[in-house]
Amino acid sequence: MGTIGWIDYSIIILSVAVAIYIGMFFAKRQKTSDKFFTGGRNIPPWAIGISIMATLISSITFLAYPATGFKSNWLLLVQGLMVPVVLVGLIGFIVPLFRRSIGISAYEYFEKRFGLPARIYSSMAFMLMHFSKLGTVVYLMSLALGTMMGADVLTTIWIVTIAIIVITFFGGLEGVIWMDVFQGIWLMLGGLICIGIILFVPAGGPAEVFRVMNEANKISFSPYNIDFAKLTFIVMAINGIFYALQKYGTDQTIVQRYLAAKSDKEAIRASLIGVLLSVPLWAMFMFIGSALFAFYKLSPGLLPEGMVSEGVFPHFITTQLPVGVKGFIIAALIAAAISTIASDINCLSAIGVEDFYARFKKNVNDHKKLRMARIIIVVSGLLSAVIATIYYYWGGEGVLGVVFGLYAIFSAGIVGMFLLGILIPKANEKGLYVGMVACILFTAWATLTTTSHEVNGTKQLLWDLGNLNFPHHTYMLGVYSHFVLFFVGWGASYLFKGKPVDEKLMLYGLRNKKS
């Protein structure tokens, strides 16, 4: 590994200081809980768009995409490529749906459509997923910084967490969005600098780099065969469709940004800006990995033997980048983590206040809501550091498997619930609950019969049913769970008498309003 000089450290410290300053700058404006969670509903669409992009891009993307591009091809990028395909046709209806039917929480929609249990189920699913994600992002980012800078991983975990708590505690969503703008631009510039060095340093320049990439079949989305048991183009494309619906239709981190815009039109524009920036950025980091494969192929001896693909990009940063640029790129990695975590913590606070504290506690005034919002921010931040610390001591892989397994079982089918709500007028509360039970049972079976654990040095399935094990790739598990909830909930709704549905909660109601 190369060395990190005082110039690099100065750039890194300056980047974090600017992020904290932005959060503090907006502190005096956070007078009400609505302002704290929506930024005053008057933020420019271009800023919201960059914020959406920065929220979707985390330090996991910064590290995992180059690793994937280095060791295989661009198959995993297919998921991201499907997002604009889905959104162009739907965002014009999804944005007005939420802006007219909710206050702050995206899951208020589910209560209005299906009752309180649906709201609790969906908001708990969001919280469980994002708590596990927070700890993961902090842990992986700290691990990478420890490798590149020689920093103590535990110390890094707590320093970054405290910085994020300060930013989110004082600045609210307004501070988070403007910090995202700063961090998002920093991240894009960091990636472009890396590409420039990778392409022009080797003998032969870009032409030679592209030749090696092409011969190694790096820029490819194969395999293209229709096989749901393996990771193929069709599996990733289907996952991309549901990923787009989940993020833009049921995820608080995105829905909350719809509310930050002045009008439906500006919120739609912000959403499109966000996804149209995210796709090239995902592609850029995937390209960095593929180009690094060519870089080290053309420069034998520069890459230590036996280095895993996840370590290649950090190794490149510390050994091949000049002083100053090295600090800039590491600061971009930290920026990606801070941006994602600050956004998630603000949204967790919104869910905690709106779906639980204000929903169940009577006579709560706005001052109490704002105070509780900040308490939840501190608790969420500290919990994310605790989870990251657990990963550090117990090993991230084993703990992650348990966390994501539990999440898959108890939060499955949210997109199915959303589609049932907006598409099927006959769908009712009791029918949905039957669908939810069926979905949980299906997901438990599929998860337990595909998840392995180590026993005496050998891997064994948690529940081995032989030919009755879930037969397809685990990426399809989430897709099927949405279908199970949707179709079982739809069919079961005919067994119960439902209440009349408010047209503004349905897709056809929005269509009628437009026409």
Q: Which residues 6+ apart lie within 8 Å of 467 measured at CB?
A: none
Flag whether pLDDT at 400 surpasses 50.
no
Compute the mean pLDDT over every residue in the chain, rounded to the nearest whole number. 86
Is residue 306 within 8 A of residue 225, CB to CB? The reply is: no
Averaged pLDDT, 260-281: 92
Averaged pLDDT, 200-227: 91
Averaged pLDDT, 262-286: 92
pLDDT of residue 379: 92
pLDDT digits (tens, 9 = 90+) for 418-450: 999 999 999 999 999 999 999 989 988 988 898
Tokens of 246: 């989940």
Instruction: Compute the distance between CA of residue 497 and CA of residue 486 in angstroms, rounded to an integer.
Output: 18
Flag whether pLDDT at 405 surpasses 60.
no
To the nearest whole percent, how much of the chain has pLDDT over 90?
36
Averaged pLDDT, 402-425: 73
Higher pLDDT among residues 411 and 350, named by residue:
350
Flag whether pLDDT at 515 surpasses 60.
no
pLDDT of residue 15: 85
Instruction: Compute the distance between CA of residue 105 and CA of residue 471 in angstroms, rounded to an integer.
Output: 37
Poorest-confidence range of 168-177, 198-207, 225-234, 505-514?
Answer: 505-514
Poorest-confidence range of 1-10, 103-112, 174-183, 363-372?
Answer: 1-10
Flag whether pLDDT at 401 surpasses 50.
no
Q: Peptide bond before 223: cis, by omega within 30 degrees of 0? A: yes
Averaged pLDDT, 146-163: 85
pLDDT digits (tens, 9 = 90+) for 443-484: 889 888 987 766 677 778 878 888 899 999 888 888 899 999
Higher pLDDT among residues 210 and 15, named by residue:
210
Averaged pLDDT, 31-56: 89
Averaged pLDDT, 226-231: 89
HEC secondary structure over 445-498? HHHHCCCEEEECCEEEECCCCHHHCCCCCCHHHHHHHHHHHHHHHHHHHCCCCC
pLDDT of residue 427: 95
Positive or negative torsion for Cα 177, 183, 184, 186: positive
Query: pLDDT tier at 204 (50, 70, 90 boundaries)?
Result: confident
To the nearest whole percent, how much of the chain has pLDDT over 70?
94
DSSP-assigned letters across all residues of 66-93: HHHHHHS-STTHHHHHHHHHHHHHHHHH
Highest mean pLDDT among 64-68, 80-84, 90-94, 291-295: 291-295
What backbone phi and psi angles, to 5 degrees, belong to 81? Answer: -65, -25
pLDDT of residue 106: 92
pLDDT of residue 399: 45
Q: Which domains are present in the chain? A: 6-411 (1.20.1730.10), 412-515 (no CATH)
